[in-house]
Amino acid sequence: MMFKKIGKFGAFFYIAAILGVTVFCTIKDADKNLKKEVVIEAGSHIKIEDFFNELPADARFVTDISGIDTRVPAVYKLKVFYDEAFEKDVVLRIEDHTGPKGIALPKEHFTKVKWPEAYECVGYLYDLSGIASIEYQNGTPDLHETGDYLVPVVVTDWYNNSTVIEVPFHIVDDVTAPVIKGIHDLESNGNPDEIDFYNSITVVDDYDEFPIMKVDDSQVNWAENGVYEVYYKAIDKVGNMSSYTAKITITLPVEGGGSSEGSGGDGGYYGNSSGDPYPLASRIMSGLWGGSDVATARNIFNWVHNHIYYQTVYGSQSYTSAAYRGFSRRNGDCYVYYCCAKMLLDQAGIPNMMVRRYPVTGNGHYWNLVYLNGEWYHCDATVFRGHPSVYFMCTDDQISDSYHHFNGSLYPERAGGSKEYATPTITPEPTQDPDASPSPAVDPSLSTTPSPDVTVTPGPTITPDPTVTDTPTDTITPTITPSPDITDDPVITDNPVVTDDPKPEISEPPATPDNPPDEGDNTGG
């Protein structure tokens, strides 16, 4: 083999070429080992090893990554160091590809009742970006036969990731009305407040554990001897209704030739009752407790709304007589609704006070202001024809209608920050207000008369209504124009008893460079 001799300079260039090739190969190999762009799932950790095929021993981030919130999708440019010599730029992409998590809330649904909203069928929802929508996958279900079904509900986040949750539904086609047991004929000396129409009478239903029973005694002339009919109605939560009739014999006392307080057969008059409403309230309250003050108050207002007929009342009323009428006869005007709700709230230890309509145009109206979750809210259980559900935990704006104008400066600050309430000029329209009775003889606007065996939790300091007195008065002239806006037909709500399951929050989209947060708008809805 022949070898060729090279000179000194030739050897130098030869060695430099070899070193150059070696360095080039090293850089090329280092580049191949480095991942220039990495995608991680939102909520996961940023790891240096994700940027290399084989992790160099000295690899580290040059960029400070401690301030990066991986819960928010975004793109970052980072710098890494490795192999004792290399410092390179890389791209980190944080993306959300994970659908929301949650569980199904099994439901029993009656075919005659409105379907629950989709958000009521799922719970314990979680997603990093927030929940954008909750809806039935195939639209509102259309199921009419009794049976068990799985109904898909789609929960979607703000990056359009969706999760389908199968919700078990037990469908019931309920066509059977409740049955009233124990109906019997009654006798009276002409004082309706001494009659307990519900004594020894029960109502049962094949599906509804708590069917509603109401009594209509509007055909009874309490001021004249005779035999009259009293009508009992039983309604279940899907609206199936049954009617029963009982006889009542009126025998007035011989002395005086008739009732000393009768009004000639208007069917709605009564004087101040000697009956004690507190035992009746205690018995009713025993079935209305919830897991919180809010749940208990909602159960109270549902009970009053669903179990009391609206009926015009003529004559002055005291607080106890109005409550006794509501609990024993299950009918009355807006003042009766207010008094019954107040007495039950008192027994539950929930601070409350009266709100009066202002200015009074024709007829007055009364409702409750209730202290819940640290704030005062409007609550009104009165049955309105144009508003079949309960006004519950309403702000001034939410309850602002022709029935509920009031002078806000007389009451504590309400939820929503309202201190005063601007009452517009109103043309008197006596037939548009639900209350055709006079102002009550006693104003129990604050919770000062709770049942003796109940401890009432004191609320915040309250500025009393300067127009309210605690002195009974019989000098008020009654208004006798009944309101056409009130119906005696029962109003059925889907869920008469409230649980503590919170409504899932539909969140605002997350703040990103393409979706900045709103500024200067911190008002509540």
Domain ranges in the chain are 8-95, 101-172, 276-508
Residue 456 CB contacts under 8 Å (≥ 6 apart), including other chains? 346, 349, 351, 447, 450
Residue 401 has what pLDDT? Answer: 84
Can you tell me the distance from the alpha carbon of 238 to that of 306, in angstroms, rounded to the nearest whole number?
13
pLDDT tens sequence across 247-256: 999 999 875 4
Q: Given the structure tokens 């909520």, which residue do they identify?
A: 43
Residue 500: CA atoms inside 13 Å, Cβ hemisphere, count? 7
Residue 227 has what pLDDT? Answer: 95
- pLDDT above 80: residue 291: yes
Torsion of CA 338, 340, 346, 351, to 10 degrees: -20
Domain 101-172 CATH assignment equals 2.60.40.10: yes
- pLDDT above 60: residue 446: no
Domain 8-95 CATH assignment equals 3.40.1010: no
pLDDT tens sequence across 47-73: 999 999 999 999 999 999 999 999 899
111 near 171, Cβ under 8 Å? yes
Mean per-residue pLDDT for 74-90? 94
CATH topology identical between 101-172 and 276-508: no
Residue 513 has what pLDDT? Answer: 40
Question: Which CATH architecture best describes the domain 276-508?
Answer: Roll (3.10)
Residue 28 has what pLDDT? Answer: 64
